[in-house]
């Protein structure tokens, strides 16, 4: 498991990198499609590869509750279970506990919660979060952290840092496998000084020997707790002020941020990895992405429109289907609507990151950003509400 920083952009903080895993390598900056329940919705693994996906996500919380991490381990691990042989990142389940569980109560031991499926009570500890992810066989694991809602008072955020850092320490000490990675998560709400403090405290853990006298190291650093309702310019400020404190020799992962304009901006701020349900969830609701803005395919204006979603797009959907047909499928609630729309949206996102990497290789990420926003602002850029 190794990250190599290949190139830095001369005009921004953007970086080109390569991450080696036990299931193959991927280049950064990268967008990771979300496979919440061991599937990227409406997509076969073969289609994901054809679209250019090099790493996908799995969700610890959901897979722990159903079918169970031990079941997946008995069946050969998550890669074999879902027929995906590339890298997989799994989150720790903390965010889903706080957002989905019927009841959750935090303590030093972990978070006790009731399943949203059957009401059963579980205790998710840092040690169990690592046990689950190692049983799944993920290539990149995340520490258990506390994700506070927005807005949260500074006092509450400052108080939660101690718990987040201690849980990260216990996750680091619980890691047993050598052929996977563990990322720390920087919390701190919308308070830049608390973000910096959290990062510093997490990195201090690496200088302390554990009970066995070993000094352990995080393989990457994630920024969590953003894109939860705060204004995005505020999120940019937080990322920008935090980036100088993050190790240059490890990947930086901005969790859950996935609108195209946010990705393009945050790559320029030094972020390497992104994930979000935006392309797949939007596809199922008929919201489609193009370089000139977003189209809500259910609108009446597309009733007789013979054009593809985007005439410059080379995806399977745009090469074969009209806006009129896609509108018909969406209004008819046909399963094929989700498939074709998801193919297009994922193609758009994955191609956007490919173009960003090409711009970095050419040493002109500034030009890429300029062209991206010019096209977005001068084209048919409107964002209709579903």
CATH of the domain at 272: 3.20.20.105
Please tell me whether residues 203 and 260 are part of one structural domain: yes
Q: What is the mean pLDDT of the chain?
A: 94
Do 313 and 359 belong to one domain? yes
Whether residue 244 is found in the same domain as residue 350: no
Shared-domain flag, residues 228 and 328: no
Domain boundary among 249, 276, 303: 276
Out of 215, 246, 276, a domain closes at 276
Same domain for 304 and 217?
no
Residues 328 and 260 in one domain: no
Closest CA relative to residue 195, chosen from 142, 252, 138: 252
- Residue 199, in any domain of the structure: yes
Reported pTM: 0.96
What integer is the mean pLDDT of 205-225? Answer: 90
For the annotated catalytic residues, the residue numbers are 91, 275
Q: Are residues 173 and 289 in the same domain?
A: no
Residue 193 in domain = yes
Residue 381, in any domain of the structure: no
Q: Is the pLDDT of residue 101 over 80?
A: no
* Assigned domain for 378 exists: no
Whether residue 310 sits in one domain with residue 271: no
Tell whether 75 is covered by a domain: yes
Domain that holds residue 141: 2-276
In this structure, are 262 and 180 located in the same domain? yes
181 and 327 assigned to the same domain? no
Has residue 379 got a pLDDT over 70? Answer: no
- Residue 362's pLDDT is 98
Average pLDDT over residues 105-117: 91
7 lies in the same domain as 63: yes
Does some domain include residue 382?
Answer: no
Q: Where does a domain end: 245, 276, 307?
A: 276
Domains of the chain: total: 2
Position 380 in a domain: no
**Does the residue 67 lie in any domain?**
yes
pLDDT at residue 309 greater than cutoff 80: yes
pLDDT higher than 80, residue 385: no
Q: Are 141 and 197 part of one and the same domain?
A: yes
| pLDDT score recorded for residue 314 | 98
pLDDT band of residue 169 (cuts 50, 70, 90) is: very high
């Amino acid at each position: 498991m190794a990250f190599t920083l290949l190139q830095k952009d001369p005009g921004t903080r953007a970086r080109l990198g390569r991450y080696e895993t036990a299931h193959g390598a991927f280049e950064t900056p990268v967008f990771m499609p979300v496979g919440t329940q061991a599937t990227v919705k409406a997509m076969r693994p073969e289609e994901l590869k054809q679209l250019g996906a090099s790493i996908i996500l799995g969700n610890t919380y959901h897979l722990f509750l159903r079918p169970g991490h031990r079941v997946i381990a008995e069946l050969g691990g998550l890669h074999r279970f879902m027929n995906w042989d590339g890298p997989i990142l799994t989150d720790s389940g903390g965010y889903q506990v706080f957002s989905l569980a019927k009841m959750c109560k935090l303590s030093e031991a972990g978070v006790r919660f009731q399943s949203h499926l059957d009401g059963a009570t579980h205790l998710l500890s840092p040690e169990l979060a690592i046990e689950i992810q190692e049983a799944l066989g993920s290539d990149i694991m995340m520490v258990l952290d506390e994700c506070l809602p927005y807005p949260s008072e500074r006092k509450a955020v400052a108080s939660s840092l101690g718990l987040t850092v201690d849980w990260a320490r216990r996750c680091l000490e619980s890691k047993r496998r050598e052929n996977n990675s563990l990322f720390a998560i920087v919390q701190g709400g919308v308070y830049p000084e608390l973000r910096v403090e959290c990062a510093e405290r997490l990195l201090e853990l690496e200088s302390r020997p554990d009970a066995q006298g070993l000094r352990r190291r995080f393989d990457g650093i994630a920024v969590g707790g953003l894109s939860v309702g705060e204004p995005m310019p505020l999120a940019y400020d937080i990322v920008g002020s935090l980036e100088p404190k993050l190790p240059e020799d490890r990947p930086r992962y901005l969790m859950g941020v996935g609108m195209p304009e946010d990705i393009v901006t945050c790559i320029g701020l030094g972020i390497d990895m992104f994930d979000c349900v935006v392309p797949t969830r939007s596809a199922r609701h008929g919201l489609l992405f193009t370089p000139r803005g977003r189209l809500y395919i259910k609108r009446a204006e597309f009733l007789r429109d013979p054009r593809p979603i985007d005439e410059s797009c080379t995806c399977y959907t745009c090469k074969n289907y009209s806006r009129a047909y896609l509108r018909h499928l969406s209004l008819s609630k046909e399963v094929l609507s989700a498939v074709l729309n998801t193919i297009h949206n994922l193609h758009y996102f994955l191609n956007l990151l490919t173009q960003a990497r090409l711009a970095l290789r050419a040493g002109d990420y500034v030009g890429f950003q300029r062209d991206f926003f010019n096209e977005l602002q001068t084209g048919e850029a409107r964002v209709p509400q579903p």
